Amino acid sequence: DVKVTQSSRYLVKRTGEKVFLECVQDMDHENMFWYRQDPGLGLRLIYFSYDVKMKEKGDIPEGYSVSREKKERFSLILESASTNQTSMYLCASSPGWGANTGELFFGEGSRLTVL
C-alpha cells in the first residue's frame, strides 16, 4: 500500500515562529501536494510539485513556501506563522504521467495551532 507519512500530527506554535511540516511518500510518486483543510471550505491547494526541485503555486500560496530536494520528501514552510494559519494541513502524492488517473494518496494530516 502507498504510504504517505506526515512527521507531526499535532503542533502548537507561536506567532512569528518558522514552522516546518514534513511529508514523505514511499511509492516513488512524481507528484506531491500540500492542502489546507478548514471547516466549510473543503481542501484548498497551497503548492504542488511534479518533480524534484520543481514547484507550482496552488490557490492559496501566500505565507507559505515549499521545498522538494528529494523525490520522496515534500516540505511545507511557514516563514512567520500567523494565527490565520491555524488549520489542518494535508500532504498527498500521485503517480506521474501515464499512471496518473488523478487519484491522490493522503497522509493523516498535521493539525497546526498558532497562538
Partner 1 sequence: AQSVTQLGSHVSVSEGALVLLRCNYSSSVPPYLFWYVQYPNQGLQLLLKYTTGATLVKGINGFEAEFKKSETSFHLTKPSAHMSDAAEYFCAVSVGYSSASKIIFGSGTRLSIRP
- One residue of 48, 76, 87, 114 binding partner 1 per CB under 8 A: 48
Compute how many residues bind partner 1; rule: CB under 8 A: 30
CB of 13 to partner 1, least distance (A): 20
- One residue of 21, 30, 47, 74 binding partner 1 per CB under 8 A: 30
In the 3-class helix/strand/coil scheme, how is the chain assigned residue by residue?
CCCEEECCCEEEECCCCCEEEEEEECCCCCEEEEEEEECCCEEEEEEEECCCCCCEECCCCCCCEEEEEECCEEEEEECCCCHHHCEEEEEEEECCCCCCCCCCEECCCEEEEEC
Binding site for partner 1 (CB under 8 A): 4, 30-31, 33, 35, 40-45, 48-50, 56, 58, 90, 92, 94, 96-97, 100-104, 106-109
